[in-house]
Amino acid sequence: MLHSIKKLEHCRILATDAEVGSVSDTYFDDARWVVRYLIVETSNGLHDPPVLISPYAVTSVDWVTGAITTDLSRRQIEGSPSIDTDRPVSRQHESEYHRYYGYPEYWPYTTNWAWGAMPVVRPTDEEQAWASRQRPAIEVQEERAADVHLRSSRHVMGYHIEASDAPIGHVEDFLFDEETWAIRYAVVDTRNWLPGDHVLISPERIRSVNWAERSVVVDMRRGEIRDSPTYDPDRPSPKAPSTSRHPSS
């Protein structure tokens, strides 16, 4: 089932022993197009700066009541490494975060998440997954030292869409798969450019995100975007593209 990332905002975060705050934003990976973290503003003086909650910790999402249940205690969240949301998240910070919670690191893998962990998208070729875990240590070390492709979804919403022949519309939202947290579509508002409304484009067609220019460059022409599937938020979510990997059961 696909859901709007916008609808995650203001959802209440439930620890195993208390309600600890609400979602203010999400960080997504613009290289693999996966929601990596919920950014949570805590309540009752639990933690002054925002904290990150990984999908690894989410046990369920109640879309009717707007509640996200986790398997973390209030004390665990209270001791979580702090995060400065005004700065890029480095791989070093992610490593510290994963060590604190005991989560497997996802970046050495070719899949969206660590193979064998949840949430997970299993590889179609197990030998390929095995090989990815055997990469030279120096390569993994260099990757850890680099800043990752984590970006605020709230920040990207509103970025202009640059088609291959002309600008058209802006990013309105993202739709993600609640089982794997993979982003399946970007919702594009074309109303200021075309007589249409909101259309869906796959992240596979996104060539780059230009942070300085506040734009998303896609390898599609305006006509292709105009003819893309339409999106109505009041109707059931569309199915994921057939080219997507299948989540594990």
Domain boundaries of the chain, sorted by first residue:
154-226
Q: Which of 16-25, 147-156, 230-239 has the lowest mean pLDDT?
A: 230-239
Residue 224 has pLDDT above 80, yes or no: yes
For the cut 80, the answer to whether the pLDDT of residue 129 exceeds it is no
On the 0-12 / 13-18 / 19+ scale of CB atoms within 10 A, 246 is: exposed
**What pLDDT does 248 receive?**
36
Q: Is the pLDDT of residue 173 over 50?
A: yes
pLDDT at 50 over 80: yes
Main-chain dihedrals φ then ψ at residue 113, nearest 5 degrees = -130, 170
pLDDT for residue 26 is more than 90 = yes
When mean pLDDT is compared over 112-116, 144-148, 202-206, the highest value belongs to 202-206
How far, in Å, CA of 186 to CA of 153, rounded?
11
Range of weakest confidence among 55-59, 104-108, 200-204, 235-239: 235-239
Query: In this structure, what token pair is assigned to residue 156?
Result: 């990207």
**Across-strand partners of 40?**
23, 51
Q: What does the mean pLDDT of the chain come to?
A: 82
Q: Hey, which CATH number is domain 154-226, 2.60.40.10, 3.40.50.300, 2.30.30.240, 3.90.1150.10?
A: 2.30.30.240
177: Cβ contacts below 8 Å, ≥ 6 apart: 1, 2, 184, 240, 244, 247
Indicate the helix (H) or strand (E) that contains 126. helix 126-133
Residue type for 198, please?
Answer: H
C-alpha to C-alpha distance for 127 and 130, rounded to whole angstroms: 5
DSSP code, position 219: S
Instruction: Give the span between the Cα atoms of 186 and 169, in whole angstroms.
Output: 12
Judged against a pLDDT cut of 50, whether residue 242 lies above it is answered with: no
22: confidence class by pLDDT, cuts 50, 70, 90: very high
